[in-house]
Structure 1
Amino acid sequence: MIAACIRASTDEKPILILTHTNAGVAALRGRLDAAGVLRTRYRITTIDGWAMRLVGTFPQRSEQHTNILKLKNPGTDYPALRAGALAIINGQHLSGVIDATYSRLVVDEYQDCIVQQHGMIAQLSELLPTCVLGDDMQAIFGWGTNVLVDWSNAVEASFPPIGQLSTPWRWDNAGAPRLGQWLLWARSALQTGTPIDLRSAPDEVTWMQISGPDDIQTLTRAAYAASPVADGGALIICDSRRPNRHRDIASRVKGAVVVENADLSDFIRFAERFDFDAPSATDDLIDFAASTLTGVGAGQLKQRLVSLLAGRAQKAPTEVEEAAIAFSKNPVPIAAVELLVEINKQAGVSPLRPAILRAAIQALNGCVYKADFYEMAVRAREQSRVLGRSVPRRAVGSTLLLKGLEADISVVLDTDVLDARNLYVALTRGSRRLVVCSTSPVLQR
């Protein structure tokens, strides 16, 4: 609907589109491209990404310290960014600039706005004609200090309803209307606590019984479920509360790729602590490569490096080993890039976390000095936040990371621990087929 509206628009200025995740940015941009909408017709980013750009451009007007842009302490930095952006908007310093830059504002996935974000959007709506879209049953971003905006008392008060979609277009357009109608029923069932018996679901729904959350063999088999169309995509959904769950699953499924959070937090932490001059620098870089790629053989490579540097090795070094030797002798950013690239080129090595590897190479290439790495890492993260990334063919992540995306098939691995809203989000990711793993065929929420 967003794509159709922008395609039909006659506005001379670009339309600002805001959503919540990098994956959502990528999905929306893909839809807009598929609809033939010129990129000059719109600007798209995440709500927090737009706030960061605003505060970064006008730090004094924001009344916040610029250190918050580094997001070293997300729990306090994000609220400060949102407060800073709101201060700039409320101060009316940019009213003319915003009006001259954009024709209107569209906000997707509005149910995930927390109170601060809603305050920002409500103020922007005083400057730009604004339309928000959302589904209260998909409100899953409220945790910790994040208080989701009240849909009835706050959202609908600021943005009076103009209509409700009731046709499952995604599934109708994909040739799976029965699945779409069943999901509409499932939505109502989850709202009312009615049990969902997967045995009575349409043929597009497959139930796979597991013995428990650690039934890795069955879960891995489910994650390999084939799309009903050639070259179709799959979203594999795990529980976000289990540490490294999505990485473990992705590492077991050939061709599977982990979807990262917008913060690229693991990469930023690595960049902050990585010391080019530490005795362990080469080992640390090899371990980093092994965390972003499968099939690296980090232990063996590190052992070979010790032997080669000591002059004890009888076999000549491979290209990867030569790159590791070069970095060990001259630990500079360009040598780090060459080592990561050579590791990535090895036979049997495949991407696991390509977004992080890309960001690392981009940051290292941007360094003039070793000390620049962290700053360049933050810049690479922000570029990724603004541009978004294409969705991998077989993506693994939590409902928090995959919400807003769609694929031909959705595979829900940790069904038993998802609450009603997270389960609804998981069930509705696949447009043609759905695979549900659970201990019982009857889902009760």
Structure 2
Amino acid sequence: MDEISILHCNRGSLGAPAGCGKTHLIATSLLAYGSAKPVLILTHTNAGVAALRSRLDAAGVPRARYRITTIDGWALRLVGTFPERSGQDPQILSLKFPANDYPAVRQGTLNILEGGHLRDVMHATYSRVIVDEYQDCITQQHQMVCRLADILPTCVLGDDMQAIFGWGTNVLVRWAEVESAFPPLPPMSTPWRWNNVGCSAFGQWLLWVRVALTRGEPVDLRLAPSEVSWVPITGPDDVQALTRAAYTSSPVNGGGALIVCDSRVPRRHRDIASRVRGAVVVENADLSDFIRFAEHFDFAAPGAADALIDFAGETLTGVGPAQLKQRLTTLLAGRSQKAPTDAEMAAVSFSNNPNPKSAADFLVEINRQAGVSQLRPAILRACIQALNASRSAAEFHDMAVRAREQSRVLGRSVPNRAVGSTLLLKGLEADVSIVIDTDALDARNLYVAMTRGSRRLVICSTNPILTRFM
């Protein structure tokens, strides 16, 4: 199809399987686009924002040609800018109760858009809208984009087989509804992700897998191309086999890997990452564990130092929280027979004068210690940023929320060996995809996991024959 048609259509949708060129199409379209105003690009996760921005940078797309953020991140800023017109309580912006606050933010966005308050502002700011990973839009988000499309030319891109964000009250929009609101453009079906690295047979096999999964037909991993490896495991607790699999290297120097775990067990992501040198955890956009810590952390509490050490132990490997707490007790009592390390001195300083600056100093120092590495860098970075921005202990939670929102806007580069769920890794790609919790994944999540790697796929499962029913 014409590579600039997504920026020439007034209202349209493009459906294509994973790896068939949707992201490349966005990049080439932006390169060929000559508008003086940027294109607003919306997607679903912070990791997706970072990955897409990285791809656009690699393609040489000037950043002045686009603005990119998550759909919910854009909605939060909109409601924060026009709180009265949203008709919502501004307290929802704290996302203290996500199950209630996110729907309220989306409704507030709809109120602003439907009230016609944004038409002139949008026309003055953006030339058009692109929404990526559209299959993951829930009905409220779809309504928001439809209202946006009444204001600016809009094209949405997605793959129905990758629709995995629907759970609980999150009802995903059906692709038939999408095509009713956004007329379909000619489809794309060439597996460019694999063709471009000389793995065309692998790419064609994954297209076949997509069809097999939709039909409930078995996929025998023993008959797969050479790029696919099956790792037999006895179950989810087969730590030795799973850890070996997670260490699978890329066939090219400097190549990356995505390690896919069950989205329902976040602690498993951290456990797997802690066993694999250099692996880090990909966080959700809410940075919910960090916000929860900031909400409950009491600088004045007797156990504040222990709580801060525990936080360090959650975000870094090699900390040894129990030993560090014992050393701190010894140092504070004046019983130490050996000189304290810089990190131990920082812990003493915090204990004697607990405030945001001394807390930040402690986290910085312990991160510098030999043998310590970052396990959850997004949370550690946000915490240090919030502490440095806090003029008093009372400001810490507010600064934590601000750091989270800045993280939404900026996104972060994807680490070389990233651990997460399909919900967090979808939209990303690497040389290798390592599927740890294969047996826990349904058809759509399995398809997403299997298509993340361009050169190699490692599947850990109790059975080499995978059968799923839609």
Distance (Å, rounded) in 2 between the aligned partners of 1:4 and 1:284:
49
Residue in structure 1 matched with residue 6 of structure 2 by the alignment: none
More displaced, 170-179 or 220-229?
A: 170-179
Q: Displacement of 1:316 after TM fit? A: 1.9
Match of 1:11?
A: 35
Shift of 1:76: 0.4
Two-structure CA RMSD over aligned residues (Å): 0.6
Amino acid of the structure 2 residue aligned with 1:34: A
Aligned to 2:113: 89
Whether 2:258 is the aligned partner of 1:235: answer yes
- Cα drift, residue 174 of structure 1: 1.8
- The answer for the alignment partner of 1:136 in structure 2 is 160
Matched, 1:72 2:96: yes
Q: Does 1:443 align with 2:466?
A: yes
Q: CA deviation at 1:119?
A: 0.2
**Selected match of 2:452 from 429, 432, 439:** 429
Counterpart pick for 2:59 among 13, 17, 35: 35
Q: In structure 2, which of residues 205, 210, 220 is the aligned counterpart of residue 187 of structure 1?
A: 210
Distance between the aligned counterparts of 2:419 and 2:292, measured in 1?
Answer: 22
Tell me how far 1:365 sits from its aligned partner: 0.5
TM-score (norm 1): 0.99
* Other-structure match for 2:357: 334
Residue 243 of structure 1 deviates from its aligned partner by 4.2
Q: What's 1:199 paired with?
A: 222
Residue type at the aligned position of 2:404? R
Following the alignment from structure 1 to structure 2, what is the Cα–Cα distance between the partners of residues 61 and 134?
31
Of 290, 314, 336, the match for 2:313: 290
Cα distance in 1 for partners of 2:200, 2:170 equals 36
Looking at structure 2, the residues matched to 261 and 323 of structure 1 have their Cα atoms a distance apart, in angstroms, of 30
Q: CA deviation at 1:313?
A: 1.4
* Separation in 2, partners of 1:305, 1:232: 41
Q: What displacement does 1:242 show?
A: 2.2
Q: Summarize the alignment of residues 96-107 of structure 1 with structure 2, pairs less than 5 Å apart.
A: 96-107=120-131
Measured in 1, the distance between the counterparts of 2:198 and 2:405 equals: 38
| TM alignment of 1:217-232, pairs within 5 A | 217-232=240-255
- How far apart in 2 are the matches of 1:174 and 1:262? 31
Q: Give ranges in structure 2 of 5+ residues lacking alignment.
A: 1-24
Distance in structure 1 (CA, Å) of the matches to 2:197 and 2:36: 33
Instruction: Provide the C-alpha distance between the structure 2 equivalents of 1:246 and 1:61, rounded to a whole number of angstroms.
Output: 41
1:391-402 pair list within 5 angstroms: 391-402=414-425
Q: Is 1:148 aligned to residue 172 of structure 2?
A: yes
| Matched residue type, 1:340 | L
**Which 4+ runs in 1 deviate beyond 3 A?**
none
Aligned counterpart, 1:252: 275
Change (3 A) 1:93 1:187: same
Distance between the aligned counterparts of 2:208 and 2:449, measured in 1? Answer: 15
1:133 match: secondary structure: strand
Residue equivalent to 2:293: 270
Report the Cα distance in structure 2 between the residues aligned to 1:279 and 1:11, rounded to whole angstroms: 59
1:366-445 to structure 2, matched below 5 A, reads 366-445=389-468
Could you list the runs of 5+ residues in structure 1 that have no partner in the other structure? none
Q: Percent identity?
A: 72
Amino acid paired to 2:57: D
Distance 2:446 2:63 in 1: 34
Mapped partners of 1:346, 1:218: distance in 2: 30
Could you tell me how far apart the structure 2 residues matched to 1:323 and 1:242 are? 34
Q: 2-side partners of 1:316 and 1:407: how far apart?
A: 45
In 2, the alpha carbon distance for the partners of 1:308 and 1:355 equals 31
Q: How many correspondences in the alignment?
A: 444
Question: 1: distance between equivalents of 2:265 and 2:306?
Answer: 27
Tell me the alpha carbon deviations over residues 155-196 of structure 1, each in whole angstroms, 9 at most, x when there is no partner: 111001011111001111122111100000000000101100
Q: Using the alignment, how far apart are the partners of 1:179 and 1:56 within structure 2?
A: 46
CA distance in structure 2 between the partners assigned to 1:156 and 1:35 by the alignment: 29
